[in-house]
Structure 1
Amino acid sequence: MGKELSIALLAIAVVGLLHSTAAMETHVVGDKIGWVVPPGGQYTYESWATMHHFAVGDLLVFNFTNGDQDVARVTKEAFDNCNSTDPITLKTTSPANFTLNTTGEYYFIGTKDKHCELGQKLAINVTAEHGSPAPSPAPRGPVTYVVGDKLGWLVPGGEQAYAAWAYGKTFIVGDTLVFNIVNGTQDDVALVTKPAYENCTTNSTIAVYKNSPVSILLNTSGEHFFISTYDRHCLLGQKLAINVTSSTAQPPSAKTPSGSMAPSSPTPHGTSGPGAAHAPFSSAPSRIGSGYFTFLLIAVAAFFYWSLVTS
């Protein structure tokens, strides 16, 4: 009887270990980019976070250059104001690991000079466990999106800036895009087809708007493409692609299996045109090697079972 009880307890323990091991994930912040002052501003880490599901027990790993970077866990208020004077935790050696041991919101910033202000900040929400059903999105009314938020509509220094801004946002018919052209600059917003967007062709536009702020009602579903027609502005990253869904339809998946946005045929403002936008930062979560741990635990269980039977 003692042997049977020991075997049963061992089996229960192994099942529990297998469950917890398979569920835990390791998230490498920024994936290949790492933890840096991001070229796309704060949208870089915002878009990265939208592609990950964080649960209790997961591990967050920050990879950075020692001496040049650090990472601090802070309060929401400190995160919003980039205040690094009284962090909850400060780590200066890479890799910096944080175990997500409670549900709720976590906030991280870089404390080096102006790094947080330049976008080295990450906010995530941690749920109870992996596999829990996601809540159904509540119906909402029209939303006005200010393109680039405080950045505005300008040459951002890289194509990823506006791609990162758009990533994770849900655009539906009836929403409005507002393009704020920076005062004192000559610029415009052009609605174009996919080929014009991809090739930065400025002499074949659907519509051009010059008076800031430019307000564009998204009155049709499909993918919409915007560029600046001024010299080399589009080539330098002043371009935006978004996907607009019907207000009654479920939004499409943010990624196909390869990590790119699902294509559709845009009909911006009543004008048909083929096209699909390029998706920014298409990396999946880095998972713990559950297969290896499963094999190891089964081997341990087999060893103990053999010991109990032959003793």
Structure 2
Amino acid sequence: MARRFSTVVFVVMVVAALVQSSKAETHEVGGTMKWTVPSSGAVAYQNWAAGETFLTGDVLEFEFTTGAHDVAKVTKAAFDACNGTNPISHKTTGPANFTLDTSGEHYYICTVGSHCSLGQKLAVNVSAARAETEFIVGDSLGWTVPSGGAATYQNWAKNKTFVVGDSLKFNFTTGAHDVAKVTKTAFDACNGTNPISHETTGPADIDLDTAGEHYFICTVGSHCSLGQKLAINVTASSSTTPATPPSSSTTPPSTTTPTSPSPSGGPSQSPSGSTTPPSPGSAPSFAVAGLSATLLSVAAALLY
């Protein structure tokens, strides 16, 4: 019985480690500026938030000197009016952490003196976490010289939505093909002499860790000029409409729609006035959840 109990304890520790490894991100509000009265006004925190990706489960860490500042989570109306009299929550000791437990808009202000009106206020848009997706390049075709030329991989990509955190799997026979990540210029010229990265062993997995245009070619012989090349657009957030893949003959479309700051200092809005949600970056993997459940089932079985 003692051995079974020890085994159960071990399994629970493994599950805890898995959960810890899939924890969401902690955002240090303001970066090096921290949580203070910004010299440039509210735009300072607007600009900081624009460079971040907020997902449910993430944490905002407000670092400030206790007694000099505080942080209150408030409604949009209170945020616009810099009114901290009836906050949703209020923390006076720094550093203060707030978990982003729901998607949507979240508003924070400093209630000390006129700090909020001077720009010490933060509005963020939080998106629901999205599972990372692995795309098999070419699906059953794999990564090879396509009989239909470059249009084959263009057509494969145009029906896909690629998001930061996803990955590409290039299935090919080692020695027969390779995959190089290159610049657009090198992509257009099928030039693999100075690749950004180069994988020669198949299958090759490549993480899509940045938004924007990504270009891949095979550097073996004339494979690239025969159509073994792939160009995709990676977005910072998931969308119901697949991104249009860039083309070697035309200027690739922008991956994001320009946004303008809300007059209230709130989350950025699109030209139509609708709030633009932030993107998922790295999201907890369904595989981790499934493995955790399996391990817990094993632990329960060992008790009987």
Please confirm whether the aligned pair reaches a TM-score higher than 0.5, indicating the same fold.
Answer: no
- Length-normalised TM-score, structure 2: 0.40
TM-score by length of 1: 0.40
Relative contact order: is structure 1 or structure 2 higher (C-alpha 8 Å, sep ≥ 6)? Answer: 2
